[in-house]
Amino acid sequence: GIQVEQSPPDLILQEGANSTLRCNFSDSVNNLQWFHQNPWGQLINLFYIPSGTKQNGRLSATTVATERYSLLYISSSQTTDSGVYFCAVLIRNQFYFGTGTSLTVIP
């Protein structure tokens, strides 16, 4: 079946540090999104990035579709970045979510 794997599963950072989160997927995708799920459970869209690179403030993402992976970069992390980061891929009308990376940023 379709597999979406995220690494690392857990990450603890000191405020101000940088990090890279990875998403590997097992099939060709039509769509890939990164989400941040905050402590209240709300999923917030970060990037719609089926290929290429995008940047938004301290966050950037790169998807290499031919090699079936995507990376999310967080620079100068803040405590408000804490939460779970999910990637989701669209394959044949269905979105498949990874298991997430749980990020804790400590002051």
Measured from the CB of residue 31, what is the shortest distance to another protein in angstroms? 6
Minimal distance in Å, beta carbon 106 to another protein?
21
Query: Beta strands of 2-99 (E only): which ranges?
Result: 4-7, 10-14, 19-25, 31-37, 43-48, 52-56, 59-64, 69-74, 83-91, 94-97
H/E element, 101: strand 101-106
Residues in the chain, total: 107
Q: Does 56 bind another protein (CB under 8 A)?
A: no
Q: Does 35 bind another protein (CB under 8 A)?
A: yes
Q: Which residue has the tokens 């990874």?
A: 98
Is 16 a binding residue for another protein by CB under 8 A? The answer is: no
The answer to whether residue 59 forms part of the interface with another protein (CB under 8 A) is: no
Binding site for another protein (CB under 8 A): 4, 30-31, 33, 35, 40-45, 48, 86, 88, 90, 93-100
